[in-house]
Amino acid sequence: MQKPVIAQKAPKMLTLEPGTYYWCACGKSQNQPFCDGSHRVTEFKPLAFTIEEKKDVWLCQCKHSSNKPYCDGTHRTL
């Protein structure tokens, strides 16, 4: 089983508008924390998530969170 690439050992804080987003699960995207299609050469698939109203979010970039796509602090232990 492949392990995701750690894109960064810190979350990315973003203010997102309502809509559907695709979080990069493989860690290879050049558009972190979002998918750019780089997963096609891996076993990973992006994670779709929906934002209902404009809000601030902390998205995981270490790719090991237990609460994907959101940061749970796991990056501190890697």
Using DSSP, state whether 46 is helix, strand or coil: coil
Residue 70 lies in a domain: yes
Residue 1 lies in a domain: no
Per-residue pLDDT at 38: 95
Number of structural domains (the chain) is 1
Residue keyed to tokens 């609460």: 67
Residue 55 lies in a domain: yes
In angstroms, what CA-CA distances link 4 with 17, 18, 36, 61, 77?
Answer: 27, 27, 15, 10, 15
Residue 26 lies in a domain: yes
pTM recorded for the entire structure: 0.94
Q: Which domain holds residue 44?
A: 12-77
Q: Which two tokens stand for residue 77?
A: 């232990």
Residue 7 lies in a domain: no
Q: Per residue in 28-71, pLDDT tens?
A: 999 999 999 999 989 999 999 999 999 999 999 999 999 999 99
Residue 3 lies in a domain: no
